[in-house]
Structure 1
Amino acid sequence: MNQAPANILLITTHDSGRHFGCYGHPTVHTPAVDALAAEGCRLTNFFAGSPICSPSRACLFTGTYPQTHGVMTIANRAKGIALRSPQHHLAHLLKQAGYRTALFNHQHETAGEELLGFDDLHLHRPRAPADVVGREVASYLRQVGTPFFVEVGLNETHTPYDNSNTAADDSLGVEIPPYIIDNAAARAWMAGYQGMARRADEGIRSMLEGLARAGLAESTLVIFTVDHGIELPRAKWFLYDPGLAVAFVCRWPNGGIRPGSTCDLLTSNVDVMPTVMELLGQPRPVHAQGVSFAAALRGESTAPVRSEVFGFQTGYEMRCVRTDRYKLIHNFERHPPCTCPGDVAKPRQEQPCSPLVELYDLRDDPCETRNRAEDPDLSAVRRDLTGRLRRWMREQNDPILQTSLCPDAFYHEAVALLTRDVVG
C-alpha cells in the first residue's frame, strides 16, 4: 500500500468548475468522471488558486502561488509571461526521478512547453477535441515504458461551446446555477456547456480504457481536475466560489485510495504537487508552498490540511482568503471585468463599481450575495481574515502592495484597509 505508483495520468479540463454528475449535477452526462470518483476519492472542498487559466494551472503544477511562480495572468511568450522557474514544474521533478514524461494536446501554465521537462510532446494547434486526444493517449499508454507521467490538457469545456462541431446536450435536462437568471439564453448556454462536458468525458473514457487494456489501471495514479470555474458571471474571472471551486478526483487501486471515498477537508490546487510527490515517495521540493493531503486521500488522517485557502486575480486586481465558513475579498480596482447579474448574453459587460471589501458567511449565504463587511456582528471575523490575507500577501511579496496600473484613490484606500482593519 505504501509503495510508489508506477505511473501517473493527470487530466485537466478548462472552465468546468464542479459541473459534473458526481458533484451533484445530474443533467451533466459524465459517466467516466463519475466512475473515476466511484472507484477512488472525490474532494468536496477543493479550490483553485486563481479564477483564470494560466495562474491556476501554474499553481497546480508547481505547488506555488502566482506571486511566486510569476504567471499572474494568461501566459504569453511575446509578453514574457511565463514561469520564473520552469524546473519547478511537476514534469521536471518527475523526469529527474526517472519518469518518462509526456504532454498531450496542450498546456496553459506557461509560455514554452519545451522548458517544462517533457520527453514527449504530442501537441495540437489548434487544440484537438477530447475524443481525438483520448485515442492518442490510449495508444501511447500501450507503448510507453514505465514509470511514466502523462499530462493531458483537454480544451473542453472552454468556449465557444460549439467548437469542433460539438453538439449542445439537454438530453437529461438543463440545470441553471442559482447565481444567474433562468432564461432562454442561460438554458442555451448551459446546454452548450453540457455538450462540451459530454465530449470531454468521452475522451477521458478512452484514456481509462487504454490504461485497462495495457494492464496499468491498478498501478497508475489517475488524477482529474479543473483549472477554475465555468464561464459565467460570478464564476470565471471572479473570486466567488463558482470561480474557484473545482473538481478533484483521483484513483489509485494499489496506493490505498479507497473506492467511493470523499475528502471534505479544505484544500487548494497549490497542494497538489507536494501531494503527488509524497504519494510517490519522493522528497518534498524545497520551493513548494502547498501542503500535502496524501494522508487524507489514503484515509490515514482526518486532521485539517489547512485553515484557509487564498485566491488571486489580476487584471482587475483582487485577492481573497476563504475558510470553511467565511470568505473575505479585497478589491484593489474599481471596475471588475464582467457583470454580476445573470445576463449570460453579455458576460463581459462592466458594472459601475465594486466595494473595497466583501465579506460573506458561506454557511448562511452560499451564493455570496449579502456582503457583510460592515456588519458589526462580524467585525472580529473581518479583522481576523484581513490579518491572514495581509500576512499571506506580504509573504508572497505581492506586487499590488507596491504599485498598481490604476493607482487612484480607490487603490490607495484598499491598501490602507489591509493595515487599518487589523488590530495590533
Structure 2
Amino acid sequence: MLDIKWIRDNPEALDEALKKRSAEPLSATLLAMDDKRRAAIQTLQDMQSRRNSASKEIGAAMAQKNTELAEKLKAEMASLKDAMPAAEQEEREAVAALDDALSRIPNIPLDDVPVGKDEHDNVVARTIGQKPGWNHPAKEHFEIGEALGYMDFERAAKLSGARFTVLTGPLARLERALGQFMLDMHTTEHGYTEVSSPLMVRDEAMFGTGQLPKFAEELFRTTDGRWLIPTAEVTLTNLVSAETLEQEKLPLRFTALTPSFRSEAGSAGRDTRGMLRQHQFWKCELVSITDAESSIAEHERMTECAENVLKRLGLHFRTMTLCTGDIGFSARKTYDIEVWLPGQDAFREISSCSVCGDFQGRRMNARYRGKDEKALRFVHTLNGSGVAVGRCLIAVLENYLNEDGSVTIPDALVPYMGGITRIERAS
C-alpha cells in the first residue's frame, strides 16, 4: 500500500506511475479524500478538546458559586456529547474510505521498468541454453502423458471438473521428484529456510500481500471464511506481519513446496487442454524479507536462484523484464522466466520473480529497526517461483521426448526417481 504522505508530496509522480500502468490519475481524488479525513479528525479533536476544557471551567465556576455560568457550560457539554457520536462516525467513515481507496492502488514501478501496455512490450533480459537438437516431431505434454498412460484428464474431470489432472506411476513420481529437487536446491545451495505453513489463511494475510480486496474473484474461499492460498507467497511473507525485526538479522529467506489454488477467473478458453492452467498445482516458492538498501540486489539474486533450477535440468529458457502494463499489483519490478516448450513451439512462463519495495510491508505493518536508528522502517519484500512444478514437468516431457515416445529423465532428477532414467509406455 502506498503512503498518503508520499502521495501528498508527490501527486504528479503518482499519476505518472499510474499512467505507465495504463490506469487513470488518482491523486486529486485521493487528496480530496485525505482532506476530508483530516478535517473530520480535526473536528473531532476540537470537540474533545472543548469538552475537556469546558469540564474544567465548570469546576471553576462551581468553586466560584457562579451557577449561571456553570449551567451554561453544562448545556454546552450536553450539546457536545450529543454531537460527538456523529463526528466519530464521520471520522471512521472518512478514514475507512481513504484506506480502502489506497488498498486498491497498485505499486509504483521502478524507473528502469520498460514502459508498455501488455506482454507484447516485455523485454528479453537474457536467453540461456539451446532448443533440443533432435529431429523427430515435437508433441505437447498432454499427448505425451496420455500416450505413456500416466496422465488422465477424464478421471480428473470426473472427480473435480475442468482444469485438474490425475498423474499416476512414474509421472506422479516425476512431479514429486521435481518438487523435492527444487526444495533441496534452494535450502542447501541457495540459503533459503524451508517452511511448512498453512494452506488456508485469514483475510488479513491475503490483504497483506495484496490479493485482497481487489482480486477476491481469483481466489477460493472456504465456508468458514478462510482462503485457500493462491501461492505460498501469502504465508511466507506474512510470517513477519505485525512484527519488528532487527536489521542485522535481514535478509530472511524462506522457501516452501505447497499446492496453490486459483479460480482462473477470466481465463475461459485459454490453455484449456493439459496442465498449463490448473485450479490446483504444486509450486516451490521463494520469499525474501530485506531492508530498503538490499532489495534490488536481492531481486537479482532470487531470479538467479530460480534460473539455476532450469540450468541444472538442461532446459532452454529466457528471462524477461516485464513492462509497466504487465507487472503484478504489488510489484515494483518483475522478471518472468519463460521455458521453451517444443510442443507449443513457444516460450511459456514458469517463474515470476518480483521486488515489492515496502508496499507489502506497509500493508502487513512489518517493520525493522536499524542498529543506530531510533525510527522504524517498513521491510521490503520479494517473492518468486523457484519454480512452478507442473510447468516444469511439462517442460521435461516435451524437451526430453524420445522418438519412440519414451521420456528421458534429466541427470539431476535420477536420484529422486530411484535410479529410473527413462519413462516408457505403460504395459
Between structures 1 and 2, the one with greater helix share: 2
**Scaled by the length of structure 2, what TM-score is found?**
0.26
Higher strand proportion (structure 1 or 2): 2
TM (normalized to structure 1)? Answer: 0.26
Larger radius of gyration: 2
